């Protein structure tokens, strides 16, 4: 059984082609910087991926008929979906109905589903939702202090995102700690173009930084994260912005881009900062400071924390960001080994970067959202799937090794 996992993010498309019976990754890759000097849209990126799989000297398939099913990342499922589901017209319609809650993500997710279904119309397509992992949050965590009727009428609540990433790294952290997931308290930090931090208590999500939409939370590539809501009203009064204009500014022109005025990619920001660009230096300071504050709030929310986990692009590769975030937390039980941390910048392997005596361990765990997609897809096809709170993944085995490309 060959499964194609597609992860259409806001600025990239990651893919993995996996042979389930042999537990082999046939190939994987990423098309980056979509809308930032790369392919013009996600449909073009998908066409490029299909060509890579079937054409040229590096192709791995004779034809597309060898693919048994496709697993699709879908960022926002609202309250409708608490687990992965087979995509039909009604499911696609629900995904469309909440796309205004994830304006940078659900549209490319939908585009990826539609394009893949056009190319592969006769096989199952399965949606794996970012929001599903966070459906375990208690009411006091996910409800906002706004008129309660908004929740009943419009579903206004915290949903949380990057769920498959937080699920994967939290289960892997439990393995590294030699504990069962249900015995493990963690702060998991997914730091890519989008950023989210999750408080994991006894193996499940109890709070997370993103909210009704992926706009809330930490400073991100182009998203503002937490701000005073009155800023929106203030700027509407000053500039006369329409709703769609302010939405575009907060989602696409803020965050690191808003501060620097030039850059989205942290590699560009770090280079400019080293060359003396003051606004790039400021962007790095603001980002680290905001992340540090989230760690502090979740330390108090959880009470006991076994480990802090960094993952995703910058979380895995940006040692300087990790050092800036963790410096000063020694009094709370977080002791970073700066030499180990500086050596951990490839995103290739799981690493412990705290000192041997640190009460709270710090791990860098490369995320693998696609293997979550694949295992959900296979379990659904085989009729043995359950919600993540009652499902054991292969990567929870202490002897699990990441599949190597054949």
Alpha carbon distance 134, 198 (integer Å): 9
pLDDT for 50: 85
pLDDT for 41: 72
Distances (CA, A) of 226 to 101, 196, 203, 314: 16, 12, 26, 20
pLDDT for 10: 67
pLDDT for 38: 54
Percentage, residues of the chain above pLDDT 70: 97
Nearest to 210 by CA among 221, 219, 201: 219
Exposure string over 373-404, b if 16+ CB within 10 A, otherwise e: bbbbbbbbbeeebeebeebebebeeeeeeebe
Q: Using DSSP, state whether 188 is helix, strand or coil.
A: strand
pLDDT, mean of residues 265-284: 95
Please state whether beta strands 361-364 and 351-352 pair in parallel, antiparallel, or not at all (unpaired). Answer: antiparallel
Active site residues: 130
Strands (E), 9-119: 13-19, 24-31, 67-74, 85-86
Residue listed under structure tokens 């108090």 = 300
- Fold topology of 178-364: Nucleotidyltransferase; domain 5 (3.30.420)
pLDDT, mean of residues 289-303: 97
Burial of residue 37, with CB atoms counted within 10 A of its CB: 0-12 exposed, 13-18 middle, 19 or more buried? exposed
The mean pLDDT value of the chain amounts to 91
Q: What is the pTM of this model?
A: 0.89
Cα 352 versus chain centre, distance: 21
pLDDT, mean of residues 309-334: 96
User: Which residues have CB under 8 Å from 31's CB, separation 6+?
Assistant: 12, 13, 38, 39, 45, 48, 49
Alpha carbon distance 256, 46 (integer Å): 27
pLDDT in tens, 54-75: 888 888 998 888 999 999 988 8
Query: Is the per-residue pLDDT at 103 higher than 90?
Result: no
Phi and psi torsions of 223, nearest 5°: -105, 145
Query: Is the per-residue pLDDT at 405 higher than 60?
Result: no
**Residues facing 165 on adjacent strands:** none
| Domain assignments of the chain as residue spans, ordered by start | 2-129+369-396, 178-364
Exposure string over 214-233, b if 16+ CB within 10 A, otherwise e: bbbbbbbbbbbbeeeeeebe
User: Which residues have CB under 8 Å from 90's CB, separation 6+?
Assistant: none
Alpha carbon distance 159, 169 (integer Å): 19
pLDDT in tens, 200-215: 999 999 999 999 988 9
User: Which residues have CB under 8 Å from 37's CB, separation 6+?
Assistant: none
pLDDT, mean of residues 182-197: 96
pLDDT, mean of residues 265-277: 94
Query: Is the per-residue pLDDT at 266 higher than 70?
Result: yes
pLDDT for 236: 95
Does 178-364 match 2-129+369-396 at the fold level?
yes
pLDDT in tens, 370-403: 888 889 999 999 999 888 888 999 999 998 887 6
Alpha carbon distance 302, 298 (integer Å): 6
- Fold topology of 2-129+369-396: Nucleotidyltransferase; domain 5 (3.30.420)
pLDDT in tens, 106-133: 888 888 888 888 888 889 999 999 899 9
Structure tokens at 158: 């915290």
């Amino acid at each position: 059984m060959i499964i194609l996992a597609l992860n259409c993010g806001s600025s990239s498309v990651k893919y993995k082609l996996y042979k389930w019976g042999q537990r082999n990754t046939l190939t994987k890759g990423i098309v980056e910087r979509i809308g930032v000097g790369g392919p013009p849209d996600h449909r073009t990126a998908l066409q490029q991926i299909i060509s890579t799989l079937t054409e040229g000297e590096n192709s791995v398939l004779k034809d597309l008929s060898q693919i048994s099913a496709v697993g699709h990342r879908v960022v926002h499922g609202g309250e409708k979906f608490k687990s992965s589901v087979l995509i039909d017209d009604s499911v696609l319609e629900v995904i469309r109905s909440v796309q205004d809650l994830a304006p940078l993500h659900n549209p490319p997710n939908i585009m990826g589903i539609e394009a893949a279904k056009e190319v592969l119309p006769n096989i199952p397509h399965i949606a794996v939702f970012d929001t599903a992992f966070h459906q375990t949050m208690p009411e006091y965590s996910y409800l906002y202090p706004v008129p309660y009727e908004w929740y009943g009428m419009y579903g206004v609540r915290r949903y949380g995102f990057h769920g498959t990433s937080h699920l994967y790294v939290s289960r892997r952290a439990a393995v590294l700690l030699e504990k069962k997931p249900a015995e493990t308290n963690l702060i998991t930090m997914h730091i890519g173009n989008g950023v989210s931090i999750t408080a994991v208590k006894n193996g499940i999500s109890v709070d997370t930084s993103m909210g009704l939409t992926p706009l809330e939370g930490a400073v991100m590539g182009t998203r503002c994260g937490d701000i005073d809501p009155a800023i929106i009203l203030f700027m509407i009064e000053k500039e006369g912005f329409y709703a769609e204009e302010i939405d575009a500014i907060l989602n696409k022109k803020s965050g690191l881009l808003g501060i620097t005025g030039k850059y989205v990619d942290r590699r560009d920001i770090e280079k400019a900062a080293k060359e003396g660009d003051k606004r790039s230096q400021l962007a790095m300071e603001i980002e680290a400071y905001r992340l540090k504050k989230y760690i502090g709030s979740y330390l108090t929310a959880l009470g006991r924390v076994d480990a802090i986990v960094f993952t995703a692009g910058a979380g895995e590769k940006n040692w300087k960001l990790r050092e800036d975030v963790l410096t000063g937390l020694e009094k709370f039980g977080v002791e970073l080994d700066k030499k180990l941390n500086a050596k951990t910048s490839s995103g290739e392997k799981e690493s412990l970067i705290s000192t041997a005596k640190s009460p709270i361990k710090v791990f860098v765990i490369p995320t693998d959202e696609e293997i979550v997609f694949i295992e959900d897809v296979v379990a659904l096809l085989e009729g043995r799937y359950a919600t993540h709170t009652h499902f054991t993944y292969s990567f929870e085995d202490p002897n699990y090794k990441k599949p190597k490309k054949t």
